Structure 1
Amino acid sequence: MPNKYKMIDLFAGCGGLEDGFLQSGKFEDVAAVEWLKPQVNTLIHRLETKWKVKDAAERVMHFDIQREDELFEGWQDDEFGQSKGLDYFVNKANGIDIIIGGPPCQAYSVAGRVRDENGMRDDYRNYLFEHYLNVVNRYRPKLFVFENVPGILSAAPDGTPITDLIRKGFEEIGYEIIEDLRVAKVNASDYSVPQNRERMIIVGVDTQRYSNIQEYLNEFYSEILPKYKGKKVLTVRDAIGDLPECTAFWDEEHHSKKKSHETPESEYTWHKPRYHNVRDMDTFRLLARDIESGKREYDSKKISELYEEKVGSKSPIHRYHVLEPDLPSTTIIAHLYKDGNRFIHYDSKQSRSITVREAARLQSFDDDFDFVGSQGNAYQMIGNAVPPKLAKAVSLAVADLLERMEVQ
């Protein structure tokens, strides 16, 4: 094995996928690309403080991947500052071994298609994978890891299944992915992440370098990756049960007088509750007590009725959900930055939604992973991230795969 495999991270977000790859000790960062500034700042901070990357502010590129010529050759403009471009960093590293990342998933998600009147046909995010493909073609890594939502198995924005477009696109530039993509679906809860989170982990291999690729990929999904599953399934209580109790910011009348109960100073960053109104706090308490008591009277129909009673309007989906303490969490989503009503803490005494740190733990971020930006920024980047523990398992499996293929 070489010292470390050299990688580029595309659509890097705050760095959940990259952090897992770095945790494995088998990969080193060459460059990363992300277009949202709080995420860029967070990844730079993480690389500098945890991984001691001295030039992280240069390697993490704040840029729009759709502007390909500038992405490769460098740019200087008002919005994105300046950079030498990806070519510079790849040449400096004498080439790369692997590209990781996945385009934003809203356009592939079933929920996104339901909400959009055109079924996301016009959404530019459907086509960002073409830019991913062009970066892969330019730098010819040994393999790539393309992470996305299971919705891509059914997405067909222009009538053609996205999976066909992805497969054809990579075949045209000489990369092969597994024939039956359904085997590429994994659940993060199997990999020491205290959360039910299904994701596609699509590995593509360079056909110019390797042969018998389907055999290797079948082995990857059936034997190599499962080897890194966790010993037990972790629950919400396992993940957040030891964090200090805290109660929400609240007011009595229409935001006029925000108050907060005294929350003890915590050694944990971002463990601070968000603002709630009294009505919501009463609802949270009622629903958490329903679970604590074992009565479990509030099914989705009754929760919808409760919402209508409390808010005065109907909702097609039930808008409240208490996290079950003795099960993995439901999927942490970026919508958390708007409200946490579907992520209510199981302790009725606290009557609140989860804090940023609790959301981060449910995504398997280490406690020393700090987020740079507002509370809303932090919730959003956590919800969009790849859980680092899942990423670490994938990185270890990918390193094994590379070693096996190298000796063929």
Structure 2
Amino acid sequence: MSRVIQQKIERIRAGSAPRVLDLFAGCGGISLGFHAAGFQNIGAVEFDPAAARSHAMNFHGHLPEEMREVHAKARDITATEPFDLLNELGIEGIPEEQVDVIVGGPPCQSFARVGRAKLREVAEHPEAYLNDPRGNLYLRYLQYVTALYPVAILMENVPDVLNYGGHNIAEEVCEALRDLGYEARYTMLNAVFYGVPEMRERMFLVAYRQELECTDWFPSPTHWIDLPRGYHGSRQVAMKTIKRDLLDEETRFFIDPPEPEQAGLKPAVTAEQALSDLPKITDDSEQKLKKGPRRFDTLQFYPANTTLNEFQRIMRNWEGFESGEGIHDHVIRYLPRDYKIFARMKPGDQYPQAHTLANEMFEERLIEIQKKEGFRPLEGTERFEAEKKNFIPPYDPNKFPNKWRKMEANKPARTLMAHLGKDSYSHIHYDSQQARTISVREAARLQSFPDGFVFTGPMNPAFRQIGNAVPPLMAKALADIIKKQLTGNAVHVAQDRIEEVDAI
């Protein structure tokens, strides 16, 4: 194994791009960030068919159709062996020598069922996952690490992974990786501090082979904002299981999140700065007037003579994902009952405020009917109920207070979730003249996907892919640190672990 590790380090430091395998890849947010940092994506494992196809189209679209279809295949990681995967993807040579970095984020639902004993077992017995009838996803991730000997690893997950069913899963994973020959650290990072126009808090875990003796783990913030109280609170809840006793061996895995200081940093990118150069969708737009499938087959041209800010230039001119004249996926949901509510909502308003506005407008409608027709429809009558249905959403405002939210133009967006695939009420456009929820492309912008990045499938799966993704600019910040550790002066190879250091 030492020889395999040494060969990989020599290859990378000789100038070859580190080769990345993305597990639980989604449409490719992490892959895109690593691609931008100079890594080569050699393949991915993704269970969702639409996301798997998106990943293939963006990272392997240059291949002949037959091989592109191989990459586009949806795969169940519990039924996909590492060596078989490489063979299927046409990656020749000794399997252990073909992957330099493994990235991804196994779903957190699998973690609480594992625990330290099972994670340690996979280190001691790499085939232990076969004895787990639940086909635990995280054990599969570790099995790929065990089989392919990457020199670096990146894992991402929701903050609750630090306190999931009483487990600090990140600590337990670090222990297992240490037993596999890695030095690992984890922390909490918010994407908004790295140029993403979205406040998105996630746990990130980075691990390097112990032979590398790496010393740098997480990127320093480039942007600043005073986060809303709720984000600080959720971080504190997630971190409750982290021990602060410096004499406790476990605490060495955790690194305090890098705290941005306003001085010297750029202001956080706002929703308006992210979206203002995109075509407007107003009341006379066909999308707001007609119901029907939302396809990505129509090019909508960028507005002419628009002065672009830094973020907008990045989104249009991302190397390898340039967008040209316009965008194809600027599509929205058809919500005729609610456009008038959106128009009246104030920035930051949520569902209780929206429900109150709807009742006010319904009352205005009843008064209008009385003036025009000489009578006021009575509650319980067919006319009353028909008019009410045209104004008032059916959800209880006390049970669903966060179901709707209108974005603030001068602030970054709140966290985009996979629930976007079902509805987009969590991100109502800040522009009252447009009075609508965000489009697929606007959601992608808020996650920092460039305009030339392609999402396959119809609208709902595209929204879901975006909500599930790691923001590419966040991934790039992490990839830059990892790249520097693997290729730059920051890398110090332990002389007693790898022979012939001078040849590296």
Alignment partner, residue 9 of structure 1: 22
Return the index of the structure with the highest Cα Rg. Answer: 2
Structure 1: any 5+ residue segments left out of the alignment?
75-82, 110-123
8 Å Cα contact 2:97/2:148 also seen in 1: no
Per-residue deviation at 1:60?
A: 5.5
Are residues 1:389 and 2:389 paired? no
In structure 2, distance between residues paired with 1:324 and 1:40 = 33
Are residues 1:160 and 2:167 paired? yes
Describe the superposition over 1:335-391 as per-residue Cα deviations: whole angstroms up to 9, x where unpaired.
111111111011111111000000000011111111111101110001111111111
- AA of the residue aligned to 1:384: N
Alignment partner, residue 212 of structure 2: 210
8 Å Cα contact 1:189/1:197 also seen in 2: yes
In structure 2, distance between residues paired with 1:62 and 1:133 = 20
Describe the superposition over 1:287-344 as per-residue Cα deviations: whole angstroms up to 9, x where unpaired.
1xx34xxxx8x56654465578822441423222111111111111111111111110
8 Å Cα contact 2:17/2:40 also seen in 1: yes
Distance 1:389 1:89, change over 3 A: farther
8 Å Cα contact 2:342/2:435 also seen in 1: yes
The equivalences for 1:358-373 within 5 A come to 358-373=442-457
Describe the superposition over 1:22-68 as per-residue Cα deviations: whole angstroms up to 9, x where unpaired.
1112x11222111111111111111245xx45544435553111124
Q: Which has the higher strand share?
A: 1
8 Å Cα contact 2:70/2:89 also seen in 1: no
Distance 1:353 1:126, change over 3 A: farther
In structure 2, distance between residues paired with 1:60 and 1:251 = 35
Alignment partner, residue 405 of structure 1: 491
Of residues 8, 23, 28, the one that matches 2:36 is: 23
Are residues 1:72 and 2:83 paired? yes
Secondary structure of the residue that 2:220 maps to in structure 1? helix
Of residues 19, 31, 34, the one that matches 2:46 is: 34
Per-residue deviation at 1:140?
A: 1.0
- How many residue pairs get aligned? The number is 352
Are residues 1:280 and 2:338 paired? yes
Identity of aligned residues (%): 32
In structure 1, distance between residues paired with 2:357 and 2:182 = 52
Secondary structure of the residue that 1:137 maps to in structure 2? helix
Distance 1:312 1:99, change over 3 A: closer
In structure 2, distance between residues paired with 1:174 and 1:86 = 27
TM-score using structure 1 length: 0.77
Distance 1:126 1:237, change over 3 A: farther
Secondary structure of the residue that 2:27 maps to in structure 1? coil
In structure 2, distance between residues paired with 1:126 and 1:302 = 45
Alignment partner, residue 250 of structure 2: none
8 Å Cα contact 1:59/1:89 also seen in 2: no
Q: Which moved more, 1:362-371 or 1:87-96?
A: 87-96
In structure 2, distance between residues paired with 1:378 and 1:323 = 21
- AA of the residue aligned to 2:471: P
The equivalences for 1:69-108 within 5 A come to 69=81, 71-73=82-84, 84-85=87-88, 88=91, 91=94, 94-105=97-108
Alignment partner, residue 196 of structure 2: 193
Of residues 147, 170, 181, the one that matches 1:174 is: 181
In structure 1, distance between residues paired with 2:221 and 2:17 = 21
Secondary structure of the residue that 2:335 maps to in structure 1? strand
In structure 2, distance between residues paired with 1:393 and 1:231 = 15
Describe the superposition over 1:101-154 as per-residue Cα deviations: whole angstroms up to 9, x where unpaired.
111356779xxxxxxxxxxxxxx9994221111101111111100011111111
8 Å Cα contact 1:17/1:387 also seen in 2: yes
Secondary structure of the residue that 1:13 maps to in structure 2? coil
Are residues 1:131 and 2:214 paired? no
Alignment partner, residue 329 of structure 1: 413
In structure 1, distance between residues paired with 2:274 and 2:145 = 37
In structure 1, distance between residues paired with 2:163 and 2:95 = 40
Are residues 1:269 and 2:333 paired? no
Once superposed, what is the RMSD of the aligned Cα atoms?
A: 3.2
Alignment partner, residue 281 of structure 2: 246
Describe the superposition over 1:69-106 as per-residue Cα deviations: whole angstroms up to 9, x where unpaired.
4x5336xxxxxxxx834795573794322111111356
8 Å Cα contact 1:194/1:362 also seen in 2: yes
- AA of the residue aligned to 1:162: I
Alignment partner, residue 113 of structure 1: none
In structure 2, distance between residues paired with 1:362 and 1:311 = 27
8 Å Cα contact 2:331/2:439 also seen in 1: yes
